[in-house]
Amino acid sequence: MDVSLTLIVIMAVLFAAGVYAMLERSLTRVLIGFLLLGNATNLLLLIVMGVPGSAPFYGAEGPVSDPLPQALTLTAIVITFAVSAFLLALIYRSWQLGQADTVEDDEVDIALRERTDAEEELFDDESETGDDDATTDFVDVVTSPITVLNMRDHPSIRDDAPIDTPLAPRASDAPRGASDEREPNA
């Protein structure tokens, strides 16, 4: 078994275990699943990096390593750390409020689960309006493409908004030349 194949198998197991753990009701298991997914992502980026080489300095001879997967790995580590800190705070607050870290069903979830097939078909029938040509939210309103008008297109349009124009040079801002000689102080 090759080293890269071993890493690929370990990465796949970490991804599978992470997704399985994230589907649980316990927030602690969600945190563990997220940490497993983060480590699997770091391992994926390590696999993508390929054969390690020397540092990618200018003028380096021989094979150099690709710096992009290294930067992505550092970014993935930072993101995993931040989301883990958020999940830990969420777990701690959930434990303070309810002495449990499981997510319970609310009334809307229970009502959705108890809905019958006839009610589902009723909701599906209401969503189909039959008017597939409607491209606007305004019903029975004729729309046209937007056109930009100038003052010559319509007599009621006034184009007298202030515009930026370069200022005329003042006499005090004129460059000092040969005609503007100063008398030397004696």
pLDDT in tens, 90-101: 888 888 887 877
On whether the CB atoms of residues 29 and 21 are closer than 8 A, the answer is yes
- Give dist(CA 169, CA 175) in Å, integer: 10
Q: Residue 68 to residues 40, 63, 121, 143: CA-CA distances in angstroms?
A: 18, 15, 50, 49
Query: Mean pLDDT over residues 38-63, rounded?
Result: 80
pLDDT band for position 42 (50/70/90)?
very high
pLDDT in tens, 110-159: 777 777 666 777 766 655 555 555 555 666 666 666 666 665 666 666 66
